[in-house]
Amino acid sequence: MGNNRQIQTSEDKTSSFSLRADLAELKVLAENIEKFGELNEIPGKALFEVNLVLDELFTNLVSYGCFSDSHNFDIMLLIEDGVMFIEIKDDGKPFNPLETPEPEIQCDCDERKIGGLGIHFMRKMMDDIEYSWNNGKNRLKLTKNI
Amino acid sequence: MKTEDNMGLEVGENKNDGVIVFSLKGRLDSNTSNDFEERLLSSIQGGENKIVLDFENLEYISSAGLRVLLKAARELKGGDGKLVLCSLKDYIREVFDLSGFVSFLPIFDTKEACVSAF
């Protein structure tokens, strides 16, 4: 990674962007995370996990959480002393992922369900998760030790 | 720099001695999973029942991708068919561990090991 290494500036340590409620925006998500990872030399596995968790949350919103097709999914990334902080705000239906039940993952493929797996990944891959609902928005704060 | 194309999925296909190998390159997510599902399920409906998915160049998978594999595994279960995976990157393997999919999808280190599993 990073043949053309630059001197890091504090600007590199944060990234904010917004996604429209359209699955095609997953590309924008992946590109932004990749760029942030390169600038901050975040290991590939950790970066994959961040991308996966945000993808699952975003895909949930687009698939189930919209009142209309005009929603936004606002993401802020910040890295500080080896800890990555992620904040996600969306104006979709109120949804507290911490209240979703754990999926049954031990059963045979005939009984397996996919629902809930994305939230399961979030619980396993993030070190801290905080949810709040205010001003008509879902707000999720994730912490990941890099 | 990643180009637009790197965000998609390319699927190669190779059949030898009754074993069909799909080689995936890129990302298996909610943008690309529908096309791949159609391709995989139509090959099963067409009679293929020894299927290898080569993940050597798979860079990314989400639960939308897992859903496709689950459907295919169910389709095959009625007959004597089998779906096996090989060459997963460590972080992709973790998704299979965490999801419990390892309990019904055999995973091998190499394509050769997959092929000899049939």
Report CB contact under 8 Å: A109, B29. no
Q: Which residue range(s) make up the domain with B20?
A: 4-115
Residue A87 has pLDDT above 60, yes or no: yes
DSSP B17-52: TTEEEEEEEEEESTTTHHHHHHHHHHHHHTT--EEE
CB-based contact B84:B106 (threshold 8 Å): yes
Domain count, chain B: 1
Contact A65, A93 (CB under 8 A): yes
- Helix runs in A16-127, H state only: 26-39, 44-64, 117-125
- Read off the pLDDT band of A8 (50, 70, 90): low
In this complex, do B60 and A30 lie within 8 Å of one another by their Cβ atoms? Answer: yes
- Out of A3-12, A14-23, A128-137, which region has the weakest mean confidence (pLDDT)? A3-12
Regions in chain B scoring below 50 on pLDDT: 1-4
**A132 to chain B, minimum CA–CA distance in Å?**
25
**Residue B79 CB coordination number (10 Å):** 10
Q: Is the pLDDT of residue A5 over 70?
A: no
- CB contacts < 8 A (A, B): 73
Best B1, B30, B71, B74 residue to mutate vs chain A (most A CBs within 10 Å): B30
Are the beta carbons of B57 and B26 closer than 8 angstroms?
A: yes
pLDDT value of position B78: 75
pLDDT in tens, B75-93: 998 777 899 999 999 999 9
Residue A66's pLDDT is 76
pLDDT at B7: 83
- Non-local (6+) Cβ contacts of B61 within 8 A are B27, B28, B29, B92, B95
Q: What is the 8-class DSSP label of residue B105? A: S
Q: What is the pLDDT of residue B5?
A: 59
pLDDT at A4 over 60: no
Structure confidence by residue, pLDDT tens digits, A95-134 = 999 998 888 877 776 777 777 899 999 999 999 999 999 9
Mind listing the domains of chain A with CATH numbers? 16-145 (3.30.565.10)
Structural contact between residues A37 and A132, judged by C-beta atoms closer than 8 angstroms: no
Number of neighbours of residue A81 by Cβ within 10 angstroms: 6
CA nearest to A35 within chain B: B1
Calpha distance A59→A67 (Å, rounded): 15
